[in-house]
Chain A
Amino acid sequence: MSDFSEELIKSTTEDDQGERCELSGTGMHFPWLQKHIETVATGGKKEKDFAQTTSACLSFIQEALLKHQWQQAAEYMHSYLQVLEDSDSCKRQAAPEIIWKLGSEILYYHPKSNVEAFNTFADRMKNIGVMNYLKISLQHALYLLHHGMLEDANRNLSQAETWRYGEKSSSQEVLINLIQAYKGLLQYYAWSKKKMELSQLDKDDYAYNTASQNMLDHSWKTSVNLGALIQIPGVWDPFVKGYVEMLEFYGDQDGAREVLTNYAYDEKFPSNPNAHIYLYNFLKREKAPREKLISVLKILYQIVPSHKLMLEFHRLLRKSEKEEHHKLGLEVLFGVLDFAGCTKNITAWKYLAKYLRQTLMGSHLAWVQEEWSSRKNWWPGFHFSYFWAKSDWKEDKALACEKALVAGVLSGKGTWLCFLFI
C-alpha cells in the first residue's frame, strides 16, 4: 500500500527535481548540470553506495545498448533490478519505467530473445507499481501486433481495457481509449479478413448469411471501440480509415461523412493532410458534385500545395465553369512547381505549358503576370538554369522540352532560347 500512496504524491516530488536542475535562471534544464556540480561539491550529503552503484549500472546499460552489446546489457540489467529495493522512494517509483524501457529494448534486439521471454517480462512489469499497467499493456500489444500475433494482442488489450485504478485521470482515460481503439483496429482486421472471404463466397450460399451476420456483430463492437478515440484530438489515420470503411460497407454514408468531416475540420485537431485526403476520396467515391470536391481540395491546397492530388485539383478547376476557378487552376500549377520535390514532375510541366497557352489565348495575361511577378526573380535560377537545362536534356528530353516551352512563354523568347541552347 505504501507503494501506491507514494506514487500518488509523485507529481510533487518531480517538481522538486525540476527545480533542482534549473538553477540557471533561464528556466532551461541541463542534463549535464549535475556533472558540473560534482566537480565542485566537496561537502554535503554524499550519495549512498547503493545509489552510486545503481546509477553506475544504469549508465553501463545505456552504454551497452548504444554499442549494441545486447548480451552485456542483459547482464547489467540483471544487476540493475536491485533498484526496485531502493530506499529512496523517488527512485523506486521511477525504476519500473526505466526497467521497462531498457529491458524491453534489450529483449527486442537481443539475438537470443523470443516472444515468450518478452511476454513474461511484460507481464511481470505490468504489475510492479500501478502507474505503468496501461502503458506497458499497450506497448506489449503493439509488440505482439508487430509480430503478427493478433490473438494474443487482442487478449492483452481486453485485459487492459477493464483495468482501473483509483480515480480516472485524463491521461488514463486517453490510454484506455487508445487501448480500445487498438482493439477496434484488431477487430477491423478480422472484419476485413471476413470481408475478403465473403467476397469469395456465393451470395446465395448459406455460409454467406452467417458470415455477414458475423460481420455485422463485429461492426457494432468496433464502432463502439473506435468512435470514442477519434473524438479526442490526435492523428488517428489507421483508425479513421478502418472505421469509415466499415461504416461505408454498412451503408452509413452520413455517419462516415460526419466522422471524416469532423476529423478534417475540427480545429482542435492538428492540420493533418490525410484527413482531407480521406474526405476527398470518400466524396469522390460518393460521386459528390465537383463544387464540393473543389472546396475540399482547396483546403488541402492551402495545407500541402505540393501534394500529388493537386494535379487532380487542377484538372477539376480546369473543367469548372467559373472564371475564378480557372485562375486558381493556374495558381495551383505554379504552386506545385514551387517545391523542390516536384521540379521533375513532367505531368505538372505539361499541364503548365498547356494551361499557360490556354490562359494567354483566353486573354488572361494579367493572371500569368501576377503569378510570374513573385517568381520571376527566382524561378529562372530554380528551374531554368543552365545546369538543369543540361542535366534535364541528358536525362529526360521530354521534360527539358516542356520546361523550355514554359520558360519561353514566361520570360520571352530570348530566355527560352538561352535555356535551350546554352
Chain B
Amino acid sequence: MDFPGSLRPTVFMTGPLGLSDVPDMSFMCSWRDALTLPESLPQNSENGVPHVAKGLLWEPETPGPLPLLPPGPDPWHPGLTAQDLLFRGGHPFQKQPRVVLDVTEQLSRFLWDHGDIAFAPLGKLMLENFKLEGARSRSKKKTVVSVKRLLQDLDGHQPWGCPWAYLSYRQRRFSILGGPILGKSVANLLGDLLHEELVTRWEQLLLDDAFTGGALAWVPGKTPRVGQLVYPAGSTLDKLYFQEVSLTPGGNPQVLRDPGHIQLRGPVRQVVTRTVQGESLLAVRSDYHCALWKISRQGRPAPLQVLQVEKGATGISLSPHLPGELAVCSRSGAICLWTPQDGLRRVYKDPDTLVFRDPSPWRWADFTAHPRVLTVGDRTGVKIVDTQVRGGDCHRQSSRTEQRHGVGWGRDLPEGMKSSRSVSPAGGDGAPDLGLGGLTRFLSQGPPGCGLLLFRGGAEASCQKGERVLLTQYLGEGSPESLHSTLHLICTQFSLYLVDERLPLVPMLKWNHGLPSAPLLARLLPPPGPGCPRPLLLGGQDGQLQLLHITGEEASTPRLAGPPQSLPSRNDSLSAFPVLEPKSQWRLQERLKAPTIGLAAAIPPSASTPILSLFQLSAAGDVFHQCLRLQADPGPDSCAPTVSWSPQATACCSQWLKALLEVPPAPPVWAAPTFSHRRLLGCVEQREVEGKVPEGLRAAMAEGRLLQQRDLGSLPTAEPPPAPEPGPDDELSKRLEAAWEGRAAAWWERRQGWSSGPRQQPKRHKRRTQLSSTFSSLSGRLELSDATSPPPSPDPEARPRPPGTPPSQELAQEHWARGVPSERQQTLRDYMAKLPLREDPLEDASAPPSQTSSIRATRSRQRTLQDNTAKPPLQMDTPEGVSVPPSQTSSIWATRSRQRTLQDNTAKPPLQRDTPEGAFVPSSQTSSIQATPSRQQTPVLSGSQRIRKKPRMGF
C-alpha cells in the first residue's frame, strides 16, 4: 500500500484536552481543508487553480423523507423529557439557568401516588396514636388522633399545597406529631436512591449510547437493485424484520412483500451487515446478547451463533476480511473476538479507560486493515490492539466468563462450537520482537502487547474541553480495491476525525460537524461514479443528517471535496401531512421527532445521474426513505432549488398517518394503584342517569382521548356545551336574575353541576397519568402483567386493577366510611385491607419477596430499604393470586431501557424464530438475573409483632 507522499503540515502537541496554548490549526473551515499546497511550482503556475468540485450537491427529491412502511401496530411512548427530571423554578440570581434534578417533586409525587407504600409501615408503628372508628377511646391523650375526623378535615384539601386549604387543629396536631417521622424517614430512605436514579436518567437523556452504530442495515441482494432492510420494530424493538425492497431507477423504493421477522428475547440495539467474500452476514446486538446470521442468496437468514454478554454488550462489529468473524465489547471493558475456527476469545480487557478517567462503561471495537488487529475505543480514545495468538502472551480466557454458546437457538450447536478449540501457541519461546506484522507496529509506543493509541482525546487532535469519543468506525471494506482501507472515522460531540492507522494520533482530517445531537450513526458509501468523492453520512440522534464528500486517492491524504451538506430530517416532513386536531398533530410531531436509531443507504446503479437511497429508522420503529440525486456541477447561480411535495408523496403521508392514528395511543405506563378511574367511573355510574352524553364522556375518559361532538350526539339545547364560556357579565346577570327570583341556591347548584361535575374528572385523570408517567422514571417501568395471561390488549379495561375487597368487609366498613369522601374511602379501605390485623392474613400476604426488589427505586447495589411493612406493598397492583416469578422481576431490570419491558418474557422462547423448527426454550432467564443481582431479601418485619397486641378495630 502506498502512503501519502506528503502530509498536511500540523503542529503536534501532547497534553490534556482543551489545552489553550495549542493553536488550533484546523480552525474549522471546510474550505481550508480543500486547500492544497502546490507540490512543485511549475506545475502549479501552469495549471492555475486546481480543480475543486465546488458545487457537489446531493439534491433531495422531496423536502423531507417519506414513510416507507406503514406504522407498526404497537403504540409508542416518547419517554422522559427534561421537564420530567429538572427543577422548573426560577433562578433569579443566576445568569444562566442551571440544571437541578428535581428530587423533591419526584419524591412528593411518590408520596402522593404511593402513599400506602411510603407510609403504611409507619402507620403501623404509629397505630397507638390513631383512633380508628369503632374502637372506644380509652384515653384523652393528646397523642391520639381520630382517623375519621382527620379524614373529614382532609375533605377538599388540595394536595398540591393549596394555600387556602383549611387547617384544623387536628391536622396541625397530626402534622406536628407525625411530621418528624413521616417527613424524614421516607425521604432519608429514598432520597439517595432516587437521586441516583434521576442522575442516570438524566445522563441517558443527554446521551443514550445504546443505539450507537445504528439498528438499520441494508443487505444487498442478488441484483444491485434489490436488497433487504433489516431492522427491529415493535414496541420493545424485539422483533427483527427482514423487508425486501427493490430500488426503481427513479430512486423510489418498492416494498416487495410482507416482511419476515424473527422474535428475539431483548431489544435490538445494533444491526451490522457485511458482505465478505460473497457471503452476507448479519450481526445483531441486544443488551445482553449478540447474534450472528448468515443471509443466503435467497435472502433467508440462517443462524450461526449467539453470544451472551453478562455485563452487557456495548458494541459489535463484523470483520470485513474474514467471513463470520466478529468483535464484541462488553461494559466490563473486555473485547472478545469470535471466529468460526477458534470460537470466542477474549483479546483485550481493561476496566479503565484509555487516556484519562471517564465513568462511562461504553466500549467499542472495530477491525483494521490487518485482519488480526482490532481497534478498541472508549470515551477517551481509541487504541490499536493486536489479537494474534502467539506463545506467551496468549489472552485466551477460560470459556466460562464471557462465553456461552448455543443459548436460545432452535437447535443445539455441535460440540465443536460450544467450546473454543485450543490453538497451539505459535512460534514457541523463540518468537522474535520484530516481524509478525501486526505486533511489531506497536513497539514504538509503550510496552509490547498493550497496544498503541490511534486517537487520543487530548491536545494531539486539538480536542476541546469535555470532548468525548462517541463513535469509531473502520472505513475500509476489506477488498483490496478500496482506497480508504486504513482510515478510521472517529466522532465526538463536536467534531469528526479521520485517522489513518499508519499515522496514529495525528488526524488526517478534522471537521466540526456542529450537530445539535449526538452523532451515533455514520455510513461511508462507495463512490457514486468513477472519480466521484465518496459520500460519508453522519446521523445525529435527533434526526439531523449531514453528508460529507470524502476524496483522496491512496497516495494522497483524505480531503473534503466541497462543503458538507445537511440533509432533510424526518421533522421536515411534517408539512407533507394534513393538518390535524391538536392532539393528533402533537402525536404526529412526537412520532416524527422520535430519535433516529438507524441509518442505511444504497446507491443503485443508474445510467444518468447517481442516486442515493437513504433509509432511516426511528425509535418508534418507523422506516423513512429519501431519495437524493447528485448534482455534479450546478451552474454559478444555483442555490439549491426548492423542491415541493408531489401529490403522491402527500398521499403516501396521509395514508401512513391514517394508519398511525388507528394505532391506539400508548397506555399510561403505570397507573396509581389507589385511584383507579374504573372505580371513579363506577361511582359516577351509580349516580348519573343513563344517557348518551355521559356514556360518550365515559368512553372518552376511559380512552383518554379528546371529547368530540359526535361522542355526545345531539346535545340538549337547554344545556349549552361548556366550551364557549359565557362571559362574566353574562354570568353575573344570570345569577342576579336568579337571585331576584329567589332561586339563587338552585342556580348555584346547577352551575356547580355543570362545571365541576363531569369536567373535573378528565382533568384529574390527565394529571394523574401525567404524574405517573413521569414517575415511571422512578419505578423503572413496573409492568407486572402476569406471565400466563395473553399479551395486554390495547383495551384499557384489561389493565391491572386494584384488588376487589371482599364484600363482607365492605359491608363492615360502611358505617365508618360514611362522611369520608369516596376517593378517600378507597384509600382507607385499601389501607385497612393491608393492615395485618385481620384474622386471615395468610392468603394475601404470600406475595413473593422478590417483588420488593423491583420496587427499589434504583438498581443501586448495596442499599437495603429497611422495610417495615408486614407485607410486600405491591400486591395491590397485581391481580390477586398471581405472583410474579422472581425471574421476571429481575428481567425487568435487565432491560432497563426506554422501551417497555418485555411482556411475559418467561413464557416466550428467546430468539425463537417464527418457523416451527426453531421452537426451543432454553433454561430461561438465569443470565439476566446474574446480570443484575436483584436482592431478594425479605423485608424486615419489625413492626408486625408489636402491632398485633393492640387491635383497635374488630375485624
- Indicate, yes or no, whether A interacts with B: yes
- Which residues of A pack against B, CB within 8 Å? 11, 14, 18, 20-33, 35-37, 39-45, 62-63, 65-72, 101, 104-105, 108-109, 111-112, 135, 139, 142-143, 145-148, 150, 169-171, 174-175, 178, 181, 185, 189-190, 192-193, 196, 232-239, 241, 268-274, 277, 298-299, 301-308, 327-328, 331-332, 334-336, 338-344, 370-371, 373-374, 377-378, 381-382, 385, 387-388
Residue from B94, B464, B480 within 8 A of A343 (CB atoms):
B480
What secondary structure prevails in chain A residues at the interface with B?
helix
With both chains docked as a complex, state the minimum distance between the C-beta of B21 and any C-beta of chain A, in angstroms: 5
Contact: B566 with A340, CB < 8 Å? no
Give the distance in Å from the alpha carbon of A71 to the alpha carbon of B57 in the complex.
16
Contact: B379 with A28, CB < 8 Å? yes
With both chains docked as a complex, state the minimum distance between the C-beta of A107 and any C-beta of chain B, in angstroms: 9
Q: Is B716 at the interface (CB under 8 A from chain A)? A: no
Top 9 nearest A-B pairs by Cβ distance? A43-B90, A29-B466, A331-B435, A335-B437, A66-B566, A387-B277, A41-B97, A108-B31, A373-B426
Contact: B640 with A68, CB < 8 Å? yes
With both chains docked as a complex, state the minimum distance between the C-beta of B882 and any C-beta of chain A, in angstroms: 40
* Among B6-14, B662-670, B736-744, B828-836, the stretch in contact with A: B6-14
Give the distance in Å from the alpha carbon of A143 to the alpha carbon of B27 in the complex.
14
Give the contact-size bracket for chain B: 35 or more
Q: Apart from A31-B493, A236-B9, what are 10 other A-B pairs with CB-CB below 8 Å?
A: A20-B96, A25-B199, A25-B359, A42-B90, A109-B563, A150-B45, A178-B9, A272-B7, A272-B503, A370-B430
With both chains docked as a complex, state the minimum distance between the C-beta of A366 and any C-beta of chain B, in angstroms: 8
Contact: A271 with B49, CB < 8 Å? no
Chain B residues closer than 8 Å to A26, beta-carbon distance: 203, 358-360
Q: Is B609 at the interface (CB under 8 A from chain A)? A: no
Contact: B202 with A24, CB < 8 Å? yes
> Which residues in chain B, 86-106, are within 8 Å of chain A measured between CB atoms?
86-92, 94-99
**Residue in chain A with minimal CB distance to B437:** A335
Q: Is B845 at the interface (CB under 8 A from chain A)? A: no
Q: With contacts A41-B91, A308-B2 known, is A67 near B565, CB below 8 A?
A: yes
> Which residues in chain B, 49-88, are within 8 Å of chain A measured between CB atoms?
49-50, 54-55, 57, 81-83, 86-88
Give the distance in Å from the alpha carbon of A107 to the alpha carbon of B576 in the complex.
35
> Which residues in chain B, 425-484, are within 8 Å of chain A measured between CB atoms?
426-428, 430-432, 434-438, 440-441, 443-445, 460, 464-468, 476, 478-480, 482
Chain A residues closer than 8 Å to B467, beta-carbon distance: 29
Contact: A36 with B48, CB < 8 Å? no
Give the distance in Å from the alpha carbon of A69 to the alpha carbon of B44 in the complex.
30
* Among B366-374, B888-896, B897-905, B906-914, the stretch in contact with A: B366-374
Contact: B640 with A339, CB < 8 Å? no
Chain A residues closer than 8 Å to B529, beta-carbon distance: none
Residue from A135, A235, A299 within 8 A of B8 (CB atoms):
A235
With both chains docked as a complex, state the minimum distance between the C-beta of B323 and any C-beta of chain A, in angstroms: 7
Residue from A65, A236, A271 within 8 A of B444 (CB atoms):
A271
Residue from B369, B430, B638 within 8 A of A340 (CB atoms):
B369
Contact: B389 with A374, CB < 8 Å? yes
What secondary structure prevails in chain B residues at the interface with A?
loop
Give the distance in Å from the alpha carbon of A387 to the alpha carbon of B321 in the complex.
12
Give the distance in Å from the alpha carbon of A196 to the alpha carbon of B40 in the complex.
11
Contact: B436 with A381, CB < 8 Å? no
Q: Is B596 at the interface (CB under 8 A from chain A)? A: no
Chain A residues closer than 8 Å to B83, beta-carbon distance: 39-40
Contact: A332 with B435, CB < 8 Å? yes
Give the distance in Å from the alpha carbon of A270 to the alpha carbon of B14 in the complex.
10
Q: Is B424 at the interface (CB under 8 A from chain A)? A: yes
With both chains docked as a complex, state the minimum distance between the C-beta of A87 and any C-beta of chain B, in angstroms: 13
Q: With contacts A171-B21, A374-B389, A377-B339 known, is A146 near B466, CB below 8 A?
A: no
**Residue in chain A with minimal CB distance to B483:** A341
Contact: B369 with A306, CB < 8 Å? yes
Contact: B41 with A29, CB < 8 Å? no
Contact: A233 with B359, CB < 8 Å? no
Give the distance in Å from the alpha carbon of A371 to the alpha carbon of B341 in the complex.
18
Chain A residues closer than 8 Å to B8, beta-carbon distance: 235
Contact: B90 with A24, CB < 8 Å? no
Residue from A135, A147, A271, A336 within 8 A of B27 (CB atoms):
A135
Q: With contacts A338-B372, A340-B478, A378-B341 known, is A68 near B503, CB below 8 A?
A: no
Q: With contacts A241-B6, A273-B3, A338-B370 known, is A32 near B516, CB below 8 A?
A: yes
Contact: A37 with B86, CB < 8 Å? yes
With both chains docked as a complex, state the minimum distance between the C-beta of A36 and any C-beta of chain B, in angstroms: 4
Q: Is B941 at the interface (CB under 8 A from chain A)? A: no
Residue from A11, A70, A373 within 8 A of B424 (CB atoms):
A373
> Which residues in chain B, 461-518, are within 8 Å of chain A measured between CB atoms?
464-468, 476, 478-480, 482, 485-486, 493-494, 502-506, 514-518
Chain B residues closer than 8 Å to A343, beta-carbon distance: 480
Chain A residues closer than 8 Å to B54, beta-carbon distance: 109
**Residue in chain B with minimal CB distance to A18:** B465
Q: Is B342 at the interface (CB under 8 A from chain A)? A: yes
> Which residues in chain B, 319-346, are within 8 Å of chain A measured between CB atoms?
320-323, 339, 341-342
With both chains docked as a complex, state the minimum distance between the C-beta of A98 and any C-beta of chain B, in angstroms: 10
Chain B residues closer than 8 Å to A381, beta-carbon distance: 322-323, 341
Chain B residues closer than 8 Å to A63, beta-carbon distance: 566
**Residue in chain A with minimal CB distance to B493:** A31
With both chains docked as a complex, state the minimum distance between the C-beta of B438 and any C-beta of chain A, in angstroms: 7
With both chains docked as a complex, state the minimum distance between the C-beta of A313 and any C-beta of chain B, in angstroms: 12
Contact: A270 with B41, CB < 8 Å? no
Residue from B11, B22, B207 within 8 A of A178 (CB atoms):
B11
Q: With contacts A178-B9, A340-B485, A387-B277 known, is A36 near B206, CB below 8 A?
A: yes
Give the distance in Å from the alpha carbon of A298 to the alpha carbon of B94 in the complex.
61
Contact: A148 with B48, CB < 8 Å? yes
Contact: A304 with B441, CB < 8 Å? yes
Contact: B640 with A28, CB < 8 Å? no
Contact: B21 with A302, CB < 8 Å? no
Q: With contacts A148-B44, A270-B505 known, is A341 near B437, CB below 8 A?
A: no
Contact: A378 with B371, CB < 8 Å? yes
Give the distance in Å from the alpha carbon of A340 to the alpha carbon of B477 in the complex.
9
**Which residue, B28, B636, B639, has most C-beta atoms of chain A within 10 A?**
B639
Q: Is B5 at the interface (CB under 8 A from chain A)? A: yes
Q: Is B936 at the interface (CB under 8 A from chain A)? A: no
A-B contact pairs, 27 of them (CB 8 A): A18-B18, A21-B466, A26-B203, A28-B493, A32-B516, A36-B206, A66-B546, A68-B563, A72-B639, A111-B636, A139-B27, A169-B21, A171-B22, A272-B503, A306-B370, A307-B502, A338-B370, A338-B372, A338-B438, A341-B369, A371-B435, A371-B436, A377-B423, A381-B322, A381-B341, A385-B277, A387-B278
